[in-house]
Amino acid sequence: MSNDRQHKATRLAQALHFINPAHGAVVPGIEPASTFARDADYAPMGRAVYGRDGGPTTQHAEAVLADLDGAEAAMLFASGMSAVVAVFETLRSGDHVVCPKVAYHGTITWLNRMAELRGITVSYFDASKSDALAAAVRPETKFIWIESPTNPNWDITDIAAAAKIAASTGAKLIFDATCCPVMTTRALDLGADIVFQSATKYLNGHSDLTGGVLSTRDTGALWDEMRLVRTLQGTVMGAFEAYLLIRGLRTLHLRWDRACRNAMEIATHFSDHDGIEAVLYPGLPNHPGHDVAARQMEGGFGGMLSLIARSEASARTIATSTRVFVPATSLGGVESLIEHRIAVEPPGSAVSPALLRLSVGIEDVRDLIADLEQAIAQAMP
């Protein structure tokens, strides 16, 4: 069977069937060189020239990610935010961006900075309303940035419908897939132009690196400009981090499947609980976006959900009373995390003060449910 007919899980597990031709190693090595020699004709001996553009280990990780996303190319960065910045650094004064009003706070913070300093205009739409995105788009819109589900409210946006809206105005649709990698949401196939992901999260899955990645359906002038921004800023992912990322990607399908199953059990268990006001999870049939999510999230509804506690004080108590869930930021690792989200949001955030964001890991789900039960009991009168 040729590689292009194999399941993505197979190609990921083998890191694109990597075998080192020099000695037969089945695990990609680390090439930390910062510069690379040229041949007798002064031509580069390989794809790498200088470390600020990325070396062989980073290029291998990019090839694995491009294959995973079904992309023409992928580009790795030292952090998720450096990838976000590379996208928005291509904007010009007068350009317009559309973004959900509740989304990853780093994205919103940077967009607000661009609006203040660069003359960029931004329209924030309510992702819980199906017609809000179309109403926010203008003729001068350059980028439509969406998440689905949105972080941390887990509202659903129809990606294919968003792609049609973008195409009608000539805007580029950029999809933040950090919380829903391609095993569940094939954003490029649904019409997105570029997929952004924080590689720190599910792609790595072990909470031991920071990174970001952009994957594109088509390369061209915009992609080249983003690559130039990465080179000039010196924000390429290093060789050791790329090695760790490849290692994490090889178990991505297994980790994702377990996290999705655990999250569904937790969401179902607490959906009618005296100590919880509401559960936000698109896998629940009563979620407003469930039907759209079921159509475009084919490999599970994800390992992220939020619990709305009875009050802000209750949320703080729960977040500091867990014994299995770790009270920490970030998401997508093998360990389960709990976060009182408003505590890390910027001023003016629309996130509920009573919201607890859960990143559900791969532990035994019975331990996770019991841990939340005892923490919620401590918050109840």
* Residues known to be catalytic: 52, 104, 176, 201
User: Phi and psi at residue 115, in whole multiples of 5°?
Assistant: -65, -40
CA 88 distance to own-chain centroid:
17
Q: Are strands 194-198 and 172-176 parallel, antiparallel or unpaired?
A: parallel
The C-alpha atoms of residue 328 and residue 222 are separated, in whole angstroms, by: 36
DSSP 8-class letter at 50: B
Q: Which two tokens stand for residue 21?
A: 């031709």
Q: Which two tokens stand for residue 152?
A: 């941390």
The C-alpha atoms of residue 178 and residue 149 are separated, in whole angstroms, by: 10
Burial of residue 265 (number of CB atoms within 10 Å: 0-12, 13-18, 19+): middle
CA 313 distance to own-chain centroid:
30
CA–CA distances in Å: residue 155 to residues 48, 137, 149, 205: 42, 19, 5, 23
What letter represents residue 326's amino acid? Answer: V
Where do the DSSP E strands lie in 96-200?
A: 96-100, 121-125, 141-147, 172-176, 194-198
- Around Cβ 323, how many Cβ atoms within 10 Å? 10
The C-alpha atoms of residue 263 and residue 137 are separated, in whole angstroms, by: 34
* Torsion from C-alpha of 286, 289, 295, 297, nearest 10 degrees: -100
Q: Are strands 194-198 and 212-216 parallel, antiparallel or unpaired?
A: antiparallel
- Around Cβ 65, how many Cβ atoms within 10 Å? 27
Q: Does residue 211 contact residue 237 with C-beta atoms inside 8 Å?
A: yes
Residue by residue, DSSP assigns 144-179 as EEEESSPTTT-----HHHHHHHHHHHTPEEEEE-TT
What letter represents residue 144's amino acid? Answer: I
* Torsion from C-alpha of 209, 234, 99, 280, nearest 10 degrees: 0
